[in-house]
Amino acid sequence: MAATYEDRYWTSSDGLTLHYRNYPGPDGGDKLPVLCMHGLTRNARDFAALAEVLAATRRVIVTEMRGRGMSDYAPDSDTYSPLTYVQDVEALLAGEGIDRFAVVGTSMGGLMAMLMAAAKPGRISALVMNDIGPEVDAAGLARISGYVGQGRSYPTWVHAARGLCEAHGAAFPDYDLDQWLDLAKRTMVVSQNGRIVFDYDMAIAEPFAKPGNAAPPDLWRAFAALAGVPVLLVRGELSDLLSEATVRQMGVVNPAMRTVTVPRVGHAPTLDEPEVRPAILDLFAGAE
């Protein structure tokens, strides 16, 4: 069967060739497009199942940030920052002539969505924030710092799956081998030497460790720019990045926000869970 998406590319302001998956949606469709943005060490494959469903009614654009997947790696690691990623996405949106859209943002992608809303309020019609908020817990950041950029490799997919289980088993205690294999194939690729490696530039760890880079300051002000926008907040019950206290405060700032908690899951839910998928479809159906 032919692929339902096209691999497309755009150029950043500093000359990098960046990749996105374009799901064109139905012919003659008039619904606003959805922009999907992944987390720190992830790529466009994270949204494969969700994008297929959303593309039944609208265009879906799934970006790969610089240093991930099929996008160029940056020669200057300091450009691996949320503000630069936002600039990159803005260049794509301008090139496509898109001035209003819905967003699905996982972790770092959710941070980017808040920054985009603060810079130009009123453009985002609806937003799914996946296990992220304007306040990021230090415990989660420390855990991520412990594995990002480590450059591990594995001889087989089963070894890769077991490696992920060892590293992230506390966040997904009920996963079986097939689910760990699926996660491995979302996050890794076979390298030129035949080893299985993570599909991102290890240099993204360098700026992540710098203060204020992993989670930019004044994000509560950025989140306030989404006041009145329909927001679905997805939180893993076991999340160490998004606390219940932060979720409660987000609901005060934006009473239009709805929260879905995924039981027995940490950071971050896949968005394919049975609690989540209907809520996403309901959000986008009612936002336009």
* pLDDT tens digit sequence for 100-148: 999 999 999 999 999 999 999 999 999 999 999 999 998 998 899 888 9
In a domain, 196, yes or no: no
In a domain, 195, yes or no: no
Q: Provide the number of structural domains found in the chain.
A: 1
Structure tokens at 201: 């530039």
Question: What does the pLDDT look like over 33-58, one tens digit per residue?
Answer: 999 999 999 999 999 999 999 999 99
Instruction: Please give the Cα distance from 19 to 65 (Å, whole number).
Output: 8
Contact 101, 31 (CB under 8 A): no
Taking the alpha carbons of 142, 146, 150, 155 in that order, is the dihedral positive or negative? negative
Residue 228 lies in a domain: yes
Question: Pseudo-torsion of CA 33, 124, 236, 52, nearest 10°?
Answer: 0
Cβ–Cβ < 8 Å for 21, 44: yes
Considering the domain boundaries, does residue 201 fall inside one?
no
Consecutive H or E run containing 257: strand 257-262
Nearest in space to 53 (alpha carbons), one of 278, 230, 262, 233: 278
The CATH number given to whatever domain includes residue 127 is: 3.40.50.1820
Beta bridge partners of 283: none
Q: What is the pLDDT of residue 286?
A: 77
Contact predicate 87/13, CB 8 Å: yes
The predicted model scores a pTM of: 0.96
Residue 1 counted as domain residue: no
Q: How many CB atoms lie within 10 A of CB 30?
A: 8
> In whole angstroms, how large is the CA radius of gyration of the chain?
18
120 inside domain: yes
Residue range(s) defining the domain that contains residue 121: 6-138+211-286
Paired tokens of 148: 């990002």
Asked, for residue 233, whether it belongs to a domain, the answer is: yes
- For residue 126, being part of any structural domain is answered with yes
Tell me the residue length of the chain.
288
Q: What is the mean pLDDT of residues 65-94?
A: 97
